[in-house]
Amino acid sequence: MGKLSSTLWLILFVLPQQVLANSQFNMRKGVTDISNDVYQLHMTIFIICCVIGVIVFAVMFWALIHHRKSKGAKPAQFHESTKVEILWTAIPFVILIAMAVPATKTLISMEDASKADLTIKITGSQWKWHYEYMGEDVAFYSILSTPQDQISNQVDKTNTYLLEVDKPLVLPINKKVRFLMTSDDVIHSWWVPDFAVKKDANPGFINETWTKINEEGIYRGQCAELCGKDHGFMPVVVEAKSEQAFTDWLQQAKQAKKTAAAADAALLDQTLPKEELMVLGEQVYMASCAACHQPTGMGLPGVFPALKGNPVVLGDINDHIDVVINGRPGTAMQAFVKQLSIKQLAAVVTYKRNAWGNDTGDVIQPSQIQAAIDATSEAK
């Protein structure tokens, strides 16, 4: 008897766990205590469902095989049994309670974001993530880095196709990291399967969740809530580093920010040639604008306006700069002052005013952009 039950245990619980763990058929165990708990919960319910399914279908197929008319089966007359009916209402109820207990425990610990060592504010926008290390003065956008020619099948796709970004979120291991989620436009959902963290980023509200990573590594996920045209092109990449490496990285990031600010300040006195601005402008346009306005500048009629022949682009320079840096509230046009440097902004405005037959001949310098930014902040 003992042998039989241990064999059964092996077949029902141990084997499937071995086969299914971390295979491409199943949920990942992940790299946090919570993700392991969730995986165990998932496997437990799955196996309970399988056992119930096998029993019920075995009974049904037994009847289908043995109680066939073609075998001369005569129908029985019974059509109710209070005893049986109470039994098969009560037993599922007990099974449900057995499932609910561990689920409740895991859920309560998942929702306890208190006593965090580090807080990251995550802001979704169409179609990129913004990460801010609260109190550390480090913040950046994280954008899909898969080249367009891979997506349009002109070159071979690499292993991390659609799951790669220009700047990953860097986190320390063995620290409780709290995430604050919000959005600048529509609802997004930040998901890393290896952490079992998925939380919606709602515009105008802040959600809270947390993780504590056990292993160094690179973990990839995606936006999970339909957020418009490029919902499928909005990956999440997290690089988990040792505590020391994380501290070093944070220092470097702060340093890089200071260097960039100094470079911006130096630009204010310079006059950049049109050619340089046009080359940089095209790069910036393809990365930040083309998703909506299209590489051809034609937009999507009825959804996103064309920039070719657009009255704003061909009109007053200051109005054009204002739209680019401050966006248009109530539309999908974002405020790019947060996302691009003054050099990038100058380049992209120059590019738009000279590409696709928009031959204004205008050249915009970083200093003009800075002046517009200053004017906006004064107006506020």
In the set 136, 331, 374, 375, which binds another protein (CB under 8 A)?
Answer: 331
Q: Which residues of 240-253 are buried (b: 16+ CB within 10 A; e: fewer)?
A: bbeeeebeebbeeb
- Tell me the closest approach of the beta carbon of residue 296 to another protein, in angstroms: 13
Stretch 247-286: interaction string toward another protein, x if CB under 8 A: ----------------------------------------
CB 218 within 8 A of CB 159: no
- Tell me the closest approach of the beta carbon of residue 158 to another protein, in angstroms: 8
Gap between the Cα atoms of 349 and 178, Å rounded: 38
In the set 70, 114, 244, 271, which binds another protein (CB under 8 A)?
Answer: 70
Neighbouring-strand partners of residue 119: 178
In the set 302, 361, 377, 379, which binds another protein (CB under 8 A)?
Answer: 302
Count of residues touching another protein (by CB under 8 A): 99
Distance spanning both ends of the chain, measured CA to CA: 80
CB 326 within 8 A of CB 335: yes
The residues in 87-106 that bind another protein, with binding defined as CB under 8 A, are 88-89, 92-93, 96, 99-100, 103-104, 106
Q: Of 79 and 115, which CB lies nearer to another protein in the complex structure?
A: 79
String of DSSP letters for 240-275: EE-HHHHHHHHHHHHHHHHHHHHHHHHHTT----HH
The residues in 39-58 that bind another protein, with binding defined as CB under 8 A, are 41-42, 45-46, 49, 52-53, 56-57
Six-digit token string for 286: 């393809």
Q: Is 287 in the site for another protein (CB under 8 A)?
A: no
- Tell me the closest approach of the beta carbon of residue 316 to another protein, in angstroms: 26
Q: Of 109 and 251, which CB lies nearer to another protein in the complex structure?
A: 109
Of 250, 256, 272, the C-alpha closest to 349 is 272
Q: Is 238 in the site for another protein (CB under 8 A)?
A: no
- Tell me the closest approach of the beta carbon of residue 145 to another protein, in angstroms: 14
Q: Is 229 in the site for another protein (CB under 8 A)?
A: yes
Gap between the Cα atoms of 274 and 271, Å rounded: 9
In the set 171, 227, 284, 287, which binds another protein (CB under 8 A)?
Answer: 227
Q: Is 165 in the site for another protein (CB under 8 A)?
A: no
DSSP symbol at 213: B
Of 108, 287, 303, 127, the C-alpha closest to 201 is 127
In the set 33, 139, 147, 233, which binds another protein (CB under 8 A)?
Answer: 233
Q: Which residues of 91-128 are buried (b: 16+ CB within 10 A; e: fewer)?
A: eeeeeeeeeeeeeeebeeebeebeebebbbbbbbbbbb
In the set 2, 135, 273, 330, which binds another protein (CB under 8 A)?
Answer: 330
CB 216 within 8 A of CB 56: no
In the set 31, 163, 313, 347, which binds another protein (CB under 8 A)?
Answer: 163
Q: Which stretch binds another protein (CB under 8 A): 135-143, 217-225, 252-260, 267-275?
A: 217-225
Q: Is 202 in the site for another protein (CB under 8 A)?
A: yes
- Tell me the closest approach of the beta carbon of residue 361 to another protein, in angstroms: 31
Q: How far is CA 377 from the centre of its chain?
A: 31
Q: Is 315 in the site for another protein (CB under 8 A)?
A: no
Q: How far is CA 213 from the centre of its chain?
A: 17
DSSP symbol at 185: S
Q: Of 103 and 317, which CB lies nearer to another protein in the complex structure?
A: 103
Q: Which stretch binds another protein (CB under 8 A): 3-11, 181-189, 282-290, 366-374?
A: 181-189
